[in-house]
A and B are shown apart, each in its own frame.
Chain A
């Protein structure tokens, strides 16, 4: 298993500002992913955080809006840039291992943009 610590757990931010969300895992993992869950909706994959290279973004998500870093095998950050109220969501970090099909999720960061 993997224990994921996500910070902050929640935040209220002014529109036009940026927030960086941290994801720390208690063991080395091959794969890290970032998801968004809008109110009352299911999870949507934002990107795969690749260690040592640029993140791979899903359709509808761009690096300028959601820059991601992954400096090592236990840590990643997601920044939500130039926020608007439409960015109000829960952002979740998920990890997995290449040869293992089980994934683990953080508790999420609840972001409210006012």
Chain B
């Protein structure tokens, strides 16, 4: 499986934007870029995914580099509830997700 590299931790202030980076230099043409997050004491939840183009949904935006070797998850206005572990995962349709260590995001008020 293609691997991703994320910072171990990041900090943010409430109501400020957060940019979570992910490097995936060995990505293949059929790999989707997924982001999931895991709040304390909960199972992971889907955040967003994309293939080549930037994506927006109600939770976040995903900016994908033109060469697809990196991506950035953007939380437009962080809230205390956004404090979680964020996982950047490469996967193909119909396959299991393989989790790395993720980025632990702390949000301060």
Contacts and interface: CB of A to CB of B under 8 A. Distances in A.
Contacts of A106: 43
Interface residues of B, number: 21
Nearest to B49: A101
Interface residues of A, number: 24
Contacts of B93: 98-101
Nearest to A107: B43
Interface stretch (B16-24, B69-77, B97-105): B97-105
Interface in B86-109: 87, 91, 93-94, 96-102
Report whether over half of chain A's contact residues are helix, strand or loop; otherwise say mixed.
strand
Interface of B: 32, 34, 36, 42-46, 49, 85, 87, 91, 93-94, 96-102
A35 B44 CA distance: 11
A30 to B, nearest CB: 7
Interface of A: 30-31, 33, 35, 42-45, 48, 92, 94, 96-108
